[in-house]
Amino acid sequence: MKTVKFVILAVVTVLTVLTFKDVTRDFGAQSVRPSAPDQIQTAAPARSERPYWQARHETGNLEEYSWWREGGVPTGALNIIPDPTGSGRGSVLSGEITSVSPPGGDSHRLYPALLLPECYRGSYRSSFMVWADIPPSPERGWFSFATYSNKMDWKDLFGVNLGFEQGENRLVLFHVPVFSKGIYKRISGVPFPMRQWVKIDVQVSPGGILLLQDDRLIAEAEKEWGPGGVGLCEAHWGTYGEGKNRRGLILNDDISIDLDRPFHKRPRLVRNGSGGKP
């Protein structure tokens, strides 16, 4: 009987040791798992399978957008056209400048806009493809590829512009950290190529704005979001440039918006109106 008790006690002891080792191994694995670095908090969420909004242009018209405009003085044309670059992209958005705005005239505004019924509050990501054939600097003046507002009626916003640094065309961030300023950190001096499709990603969060070109981080900036916090109210792409430009062609495709939380209110539609000045 003593022998049996001894065997049972030995088995129980072994099982207890093994169980303790398993628990210790699991606990140790959790304790050494690295925490996410602080910079992760500045990035918007990864792209979902189904974006909040997307314009693919395959309908052949501008109905995917809330609103569009050719104004103020007609200086070009805004259309959905078959891809003229031979890249097989199907239909694309085309904004072409054909003449200089008259002295004192408006900027070139050949673009469609996305208008939300109320401001979304939270982080977001925007992605789009762009192909540009525009004059060299300084002949061209300024050009903007995208604008995103943080307040209704474009009262606070930032832009993704084409700049000129160290003899090269480069993407830059503008109206950061406040309107009319352009203070940002250059991460990579990758040039922006003309007459070539380029993917641009904009990641927006309380920590600031990240700008990527062909999946490579090239610039980041802080932004003063105001009391409402970071958010998205309106956005536009297309062709937006200084009035002195006499020519220029910008194509867009696969424009999308991803949000980091549910937002079930769909973009508002504005049709057959002059529409102000986004």
Identify whether 154 is part of a domain: yes
Query: Mean pLDDT, to the nearest integer, of 47-68?
Result: 86
Identify whether 273 is part of a domain: no
For residue 2, is pLDDT > 90?
A: no
For residue 23, is pLDDT > 50?
A: no
Same domain, 27 and 51: no
Q: What angle do CA 68, 69, 70 make, to 5 degrees?
A: 145
Tens-digit pLDDT profile for residues 111-135:
999 999 999 999 999 999 999 999 9
Same domain, 214 and 250: yes
Same domain, 20 and 133: no
Tens-digit pLDDT profile for residues 236-246:
999 999 988 99
Q: Which residue has the tokens 């007459």?
A: 195
Identify whether 274 is part of a domain: no
Same domain, 23 and 140: no
Mean pLDDT of all residues belonging to the chain: 82
Buried b vs exposed e over 212-236: b needs ≥16 C-beta within 10 Å? Answer: bbeeeebbbbebebeeeebbbbbbb
Same domain, 19 and 51: no
For residues 177 and 167, give the distance between their C-alpha atoms in angstroms, rounded to a whole number.
25
Identify whether 119 is part of a domain: yes
Compute the Cα dihedral for 115, 116, 120, 125 and give only its sign.
negative
Identify whether 45 is part of a domain: yes
Same domain, 136 and 159: yes
Same domain, 48 and 108: yes
Range of the domain at 140: 41-259
For residue 208, is pLDDT > 70?
A: yes
How is residue 180 written in tokens?
Answer: 């009319």
Identify whether 248 is part of a domain: yes
Query: Mean pLDDT, to the nearest integer, of 69-95?
Result: 87
Same domain, 7 and 60: no
pLDDT at 48: 53
254 versus 138: the higher-pLDDT residue is: 254
Tens-digit pLDDT profile for residues 184-200:
999 999 999 999 999 99
Same domain, 183 and 88: yes
The pTM of this model reads 0.80
| Dihedral, 19, 25, 29, 31 alpha carbons, nearest 10 | 90
Same domain, 249 and 137: yes
Distance of CA 116 to the CA centre of its chain: 16
Identify whether 265 is part of a domain: no
Same domain, 26 and 51: no
CATH of the domain at 84: 2.60.120.200
For residues 173 and 185, give the distance between their C-alpha atoms in angstroms, rounded to a whole number.
9
Count of structural domains, the chain = 2
Identify whether 272 is part of a domain: no
Same domain, 116 and 222: yes
